[in-house]
Amino acid sequence: MSKLDESLLIGMPPFSRLSRAQIREILDHATSRRYDEGATIFSEGQEADRFFLLLDGFLRVVRSTPDGDQVIVLHISPGQLFGIAPALQRDTYPASAVTAAESIALSWPVNLWPEFSATYEGFATESYKTLGRRLGQIQETLTEMATQAVEKRVASALLRMVNQSGRKSDAGIEIAFPVTRQNISDMTGTTLHTVSRLLSAWERDGVVSSRRKHIVVTDPYALVLLSGIQS
């Protein structure tokens, strides 16, 4: 890992309190890998033998329901740890990690987790903060699926992706990674037909612009109103 400069990790939460020399020590134990869009990095229930840091790209975290359906419970952005089963005191991954775009990730053997947590200031506390935020996001998503009307669920899902990855374009705010209507269906517990109907209606109303794997929110305020979370 000598070719990977320590400056890439400076400022990322797990390493924000560490010196360049300490980051170098961590990188010396890491493996780097590039993944194509749609690749499964690990699967739910698989033995957790490594933990990961996303350097570039976006990930979908996917869980299976008791009925065997796949639900996208959250997305992970660059600079975040994932696959941190040791933080949950698990020896298997609780969900699958699937790339939403071409991605690059570092990984370490899981047996290094206790050493990193004990040796490097802030590594454990920042990791547990991340874990707490994710559990909250998952709970929010599951609550929406159980209690909200479909239109609000779909609008809320789009807003989460905009808030996490949105970038300004001439047309509005673009979701930075590829998103299909099936992905949105898997995020909201509804059918592909319903998602297609809603997006088509919102496109006619000037709320969104969508084409294959590409969504731009052209009227963010209208989308907020549709989600039902306006102040």
Q: CATH number, domain at 85?
A: 2.60.120.10
Residues 208-223: tens digit of each pLDDT: 998 888 899 999 999 9
Per-residue pLDDT for 231 more than 60? no
Domain hosting 78: range is: 6-134
Q: How far apart are CA 105 and CA 45, in angstroms?
A: 20
- The answer to whether residues 115 and 20 belong to one domain is yes
Domain boundary among 106, 134, 162: 134
Residues 133-158: tens digit of each pLDDT: 888 887 787 777 777 899 999 999 99
Question: Mean pLDDT, to the nearest integer, of 5-18?
Answer: 85
Q: In this predicted structure, what is the pLDDT of residue 2?
A: 46
31-35, strands of its sheet edge to edge: 31-35, 103-109, 50-56, 81-82
- The answer to whether residues 112 and 163 belong to one domain is no
Per-residue pLDDT for 53 more than 50? yes
- The answer to whether residues 127 and 152 belong to one domain is no
Q: How far apart are CA 157 and CA 138, in angstroms?
A: 12
- The answer to whether residues 104 and 153 belong to one domain is no
* Number of domains forming the structure of the chain: 2
Q: For the beta carbon of residue 151, count every other beta carbon within 10 angstroms.
A: 18
